[in-house]
Every structure is written in C-alpha cells, then in structure tokens.
Chain A
Amino acid sequence: MKLFGMEKDIPDYTIIVGCGRLGAYLANSLSDKKGKVLVIDRNKEAFRKLSSSFGGMTVIGDAIDFDILHQAQIIKADAVVAVTNNDNINIMVAQIAHELFKVRMVIIRLYDPERECVYSESGIKTICPSLLSANEIFEIFSKKETQEEETDSVEEKE
C-alpha cells in the first residue's frame, strides 16, 4: 500500500468514445478507480450498460462533431479512447483528438488492422482485437504443449 503521493496508474480525465461493451467496461473501471470519465455515444440507450455506481459523465451525440467534443471539454482530456464499433469513426476521432486538440494519449480500437497505415507515424496507439485474440490463443497452445511435455516426462519417469 502506498501511503505517500498515491501514484495514479490511470489518466486524470479520460474521454471514452462509444459506449459498447468495451467502452462501458472501461468507463466503469476507471470510475471505480476514482478517475474522471466522460462517455460519448450517439445512442442514449447505450448508457444503460454503465453500472449504477458509475460516477462519470455522459454526452449523447456524434463524436466527430466538433461541438460535441467541445461540450466534452476535450481540451482538458489527458486521454481519448475511441472504441465505437465503426473503425472509420474511431480513426477520425483519434486524428481530431491528436492533431487538433493535442490530446497526449490517444488509443483506438480497430477491427481491421490494415487501416492502421492511415495514421501509423502519428503516435496514436492501436488495439486490434483479432490480433490480441490470436496471440492469446497461441499463448494457450504453447502452454498446453509445455504442459503435455511435462506430463510426458513424468510418465517416462514412472
């Protein structure tokens, strides 16, 4: 337990674009960790995925609309996380946040990793679910193989 100067491992003010499963989960966890969170989604219904203890803010609207971003006070944001289910919206939001509002940390989810080349040099971090899942699956494969090897060697001993 840290007594002095509790080091935060989360940004002070995070804007999450898209309140899907990932967006809502992130928003709930950040809110639990006492981070300031704002969630943008164009569909009001999406916010019901937020837990009852969620202490952040919500904005209904299109995140590529500058008025909505101003309303979300994007200038004050330390991080913007674009996790809508539309890659193109994520790319555009990320570019706006990074280029126009100079947000320090911009993270986006892309279903299609091939589109990453659009902004590759610009310092935006990309999360690609299919690549992550594939890596995880390979991880499991390799673990299983080593386990099997272990059991094989045990059997040999016997």
Chain B
Amino acid sequence: MKQRLLLVGGKSKTKSLAISLLAKGYQVTAINDTYEDCLELATIDKLCVIHGDGTKPFILEDADASSADIVIALTTKDEDNFVICELCKKRFHIKKTVALVSDPKKTDFFYKMGIDSVVCAISAITSIIEQQAFIDKMTTLVPVGEGRLQISEVPITGNAPVVGKKLWEMNLPNEVIIGCILRGEKTMVPRGDTRILAGDLIVLISSNGQELAAIKELTGR
C-alpha cells in the first residue's frame, strides 16, 4: 500500500517537499491556512490540498489524518508545530511525527514530549554555512567511534605541494589513509600509484588526531 503523508503549514518548503515525495510515489496531502498559498500548492499535480488551520482537530479530520502514516509539521511557529504533532500522535494515532522547530533549544523538549523526529532548520543551516565557510581548509565530515576516528574532506588547490605526486611519494602519517578521491563527477578509490591532481577532493580517514598533520602534508598549510 502507498504510504500516506500529511504536510501541515509552510509554503516553499511544503511545495518542494510535496513535489519530491509525489515523485517517489507517496500519497501526499497538504494543509495550509492561507488561501493564496493553497491556490499555489493546488497547481501541483496529484497533491491534495486542504485550506484550514492544521492545529484544529476537525481540519485534521477533514484531511483524514487517522489514515496517514507520517505527519510533517512545517509552520513557522514552534507552538503550532508542537500542537499539530501532539494532536496527530494522541488523537489520530499517527505512527511517525516530524516537526520543524526554529528555536534549537526546544529540540530536546519536543523529543521528550514524544515527537519522533525534530528538525531544527537554524542549526542545520548554520552548520552547513560553517562547513562552507571553512571548506578551503578542511571539513570534518564524521567523527566515528566516539571521535577516535575522523573522516575529513580536503580540497586540493593548484598550489598544494602534493599536486602531481603519486600517493607512495607522499609522506603521510602512518595512521592516515586516503580513502577516496573525488575528481569531477568520478569517485575513485586510489592505489599507491594514483596521482593527485589540482581540484581533487580527498577523503581522509585518520585516527589519533593525525588529520591536521596529514592536511598540512597535503595542502602545505
């Protein structure tokens, strides 16, 4: 059976989310309390749109909330998203509730009250911006094993000392390996005789805090 999703509130987020979910074959219903936004959402093919305040139980009933599998609350107000998810959980018994929250401090509270997934747009965006701002240096992608292992992304610029060198010619610390090289559209798992070129993006796997020494070796900084 097709999974049924309910999107409550939000305009541009709902629009792009609805398009992408419909394309993946889900059945999607959107609830919005602004008539103009509803008209715009209604231009999306196969999207069911309901005009009304999604924090009101009878509107959720109109949207047949009890038959939905997932509800996503996307309004700009934290309190509205909170009530939408709580109503869906406790009254309509929807299995999975997802809430957008604008104040990062409320994330824990939302989880505590039983909301299954809480997305904080502000912390997500600031962390991406932070990554982008420092991308010329290094981006730590994932700390693994309580931070003992780091997977980092290192862009190689034209003036880096390793450009043109083969892997075995480089003097990398022992606890570091180059796991992957991203070159344009290609991803390659390098061997000892692979040459580093300018513009490569190197994925480093390093342990024991050796990543800074490795990055210095790779980029000269």
Partner-B contacts on A (CB < 8 A):
64-67, 86-89, 91-92, 95-96, 99-100, 112, 114-115, 117-119
Contacts and interface: CB of A to CB of B under 8 A. Distances in A.
Contact of B105 (A66, A112, A119): A66
Contacts of B55: 87-88, 115
Given A66-B105, A66-B106, A117 B87 contact: yes
B179 interface: no
B79 A89 contact: yes
> Which label, helix, strand, loop or mixed, suits the secondary structure of the B interface?
helix
A65 B83 CA distance: 16
B80 interface: yes
Interface string B137-168: 00000000000000000000000000000000
Contacts of B82: 88, 91-92, 95
Interface in B94-126: 103, 105-106, 109, 112-113
Interface of B: 55-58, 77-80, 82-83, 86-87, 90-91, 103, 105-106, 109, 112-113
> Which label, helix, strand, loop or mixed, suits the secondary structure of the A interface?
helix
Contacts of B56: 112, 114-115
Contacts of B112: 99-100
A96 B106 CA distance: 10
